[in-house]
Amino acid sequence: MASIWVGHRGTVRDYPDFSPSVDAEAIQKAIRGIGTDEKMLISILTERSNAQRQLIVKEYQAAYGKELKDDLKGDLSGHFEHLMVALVTPPAVFDAKQLKKSMK
Protein backbone atom coordinates (compact mmCIF):
# COMPACT_ATOMS: atom_id res chain seq x y z
CA MET A 1 0.00 0.00 0.00
CA ALA A 2 2.83 2.42 0.79
CA SER A 3 4.15 2.07 -2.74
CA ILE A 4 1.33 4.20 -4.17
CA TRP A 5 2.76 7.22 -2.35
CA VAL A 6 6.28 6.86 -3.72
CA GLY A 7 7.17 9.89 -5.80
CA HIS A 8 4.14 11.91 -4.71
CA ARG A 9 4.40 15.23 -2.92
CA GLY A 10 1.97 17.33 -0.96
CA THR A 11 -0.27 19.79 -2.72
CA VAL A 12 1.38 22.91 -1.27
CA ARG A 13 4.46 23.65 -3.35
CA ASP A 14 7.12 26.27 -2.73
CA TYR A 15 5.79 29.71 -3.56
CA PRO A 16 7.62 31.21 -6.55
CA ASP A 17 9.57 34.43 -5.91
CA PHE A 18 9.34 33.78 -2.17
CA SER A 19 10.71 36.47 0.13
CA PRO A 20 10.47 35.84 3.88
CA SER A 21 11.10 39.51 4.66
CA VAL A 22 8.28 40.69 2.38
CA ASP A 23 5.91 38.10 3.85
CA ALA A 24 6.91 38.89 7.45
CA GLU A 25 6.26 42.58 6.82
CA ALA A 26 2.88 41.87 5.20
CA ILE A 27 1.85 39.68 8.14
CA GLN A 28 2.93 42.34 10.62
CA LYS A 29 0.85 44.93 8.77
CA ALA A 30 -2.11 42.53 8.66
CA ILE A 31 -2.18 42.16 12.45
CA ARG A 32 -0.98 45.63 13.49
CA GLY A 33 -3.42 48.10 14.99
CA ILE A 34 -7.17 47.79 15.21
CA GLY A 35 -8.65 45.01 13.14
CA THR A 36 -6.97 42.19 11.29
CA ASP A 37 -6.57 41.61 7.58
CA GLU A 38 -7.58 37.94 7.77
CA LYS A 39 -7.55 37.56 3.99
CA MET A 40 -3.89 38.58 3.90
CA LEU A 41 -2.99 36.07 6.62
CA ILE A 42 -4.84 33.31 4.79
CA SER A 43 -3.25 34.25 1.47
CA ILE A 44 0.29 34.18 2.81
CA LEU A 45 0.18 31.29 5.25
CA THR A 46 -1.79 28.88 3.08
CA GLU A 47 0.14 29.53 -0.13
CA ARG A 48 3.61 28.91 1.31
CA SER A 49 5.19 25.53 1.94
CA ASN A 50 5.95 24.55 5.51
CA ALA A 51 9.65 25.20 4.97
CA GLN A 52 8.83 28.70 3.69
CA ARG A 53 6.50 29.37 6.64
CA GLN A 54 9.31 28.45 9.04
CA LEU A 55 11.59 30.97 7.29
CA ILE A 56 8.87 33.61 7.69
CA VAL A 57 8.72 32.81 11.43
CA LYS A 58 12.50 33.32 11.73
CA GLU A 59 12.41 36.54 9.70
CA TYR A 60 9.51 37.90 11.78
CA GLN A 61 11.46 37.24 14.99
CA ALA A 62 14.57 38.93 13.57
CA ALA A 63 12.68 41.95 12.22
CA TYR A 64 10.25 42.60 15.08
CA GLY A 65 11.85 40.91 18.11
CA LYS A 66 8.66 38.97 18.79
CA GLU A 67 7.40 35.47 18.16
CA LEU A 68 4.92 35.36 15.28
CA LYS A 69 2.77 32.75 17.02
CA ASP A 70 2.48 34.98 20.10
CA ASP A 71 1.40 37.96 17.98
CA LEU A 72 -1.14 35.78 16.18
CA LYS A 73 -2.49 34.51 19.51
CA GLY A 74 -2.78 38.08 20.78
CA ASP A 75 -4.67 39.30 17.72
CA LEU A 76 -6.85 36.35 16.71
CA SER A 77 -9.30 34.06 18.46
CA GLY A 78 -11.21 30.83 18.12
CA HIS A 79 -10.66 28.27 15.40
CA PHE A 80 -9.03 30.83 13.12
CA GLU A 81 -6.37 31.52 15.77
CA HIS A 82 -5.72 27.79 16.20
CA LEU A 83 -5.35 27.32 12.44
CA MET A 84 -2.98 30.25 11.93
CA VAL A 85 -0.82 29.23 14.91
CA ALA A 86 -0.76 25.63 13.64
CA LEU A 87 0.46 26.84 10.25
CA VAL A 88 3.48 28.60 11.78
CA THR A 89 4.33 25.76 14.18
CA PRO A 90 7.04 23.31 13.07
CA PRO A 91 5.39 19.97 12.14
CA ALA A 92 7.20 17.91 14.79
CA VAL A 93 6.22 20.38 17.54
CA PHE A 94 2.62 20.49 16.31
CA ASP A 95 2.43 16.69 16.21
CA ALA A 96 3.90 16.35 19.71
CA LYS A 97 1.45 18.88 21.14
CA GLN A 98 -1.50 17.15 19.48
CA LEU A 99 -0.39 13.75 20.78
CA LYS A 100 0.02 15.13 24.30
CA LYS A 101 -3.39 16.80 24.11
CA SER A 102 -5.03 13.57 22.91
CA MET A 103 -3.61 11.60 25.86
CA LYS A 104 -5.02 13.88 28.55
Backbone phi and psi for residue 37, each to the nearest 5 degrees, phi listed first = -85, 85
Residue 44: per-residue pLDDT: 98
Backbone phi and psi for residue 15, each to the nearest 5 degrees, phi listed first = -75, 130
Residue 75: per-residue pLDDT: 94
CB 12 within 8 A of CB 49: yes
Query: What is the CATH number that goes with domain 16-102?
Result: 1.10.220.10
| Cβ neighbours for 45, distance < 8 A, ≥ 6 positions apart | 27, 53, 84, 87, 88
**pTM (predicted TM-score):** 0.85
Query: What ranges do the domains of the chain cover?
Result: 16-102
For 77-88, what is each residue's pLDDT tens digit?
999 999 999 999
Predicted confidence (pLDDT) at residue 56 exceeds the cutoff of 90: yes
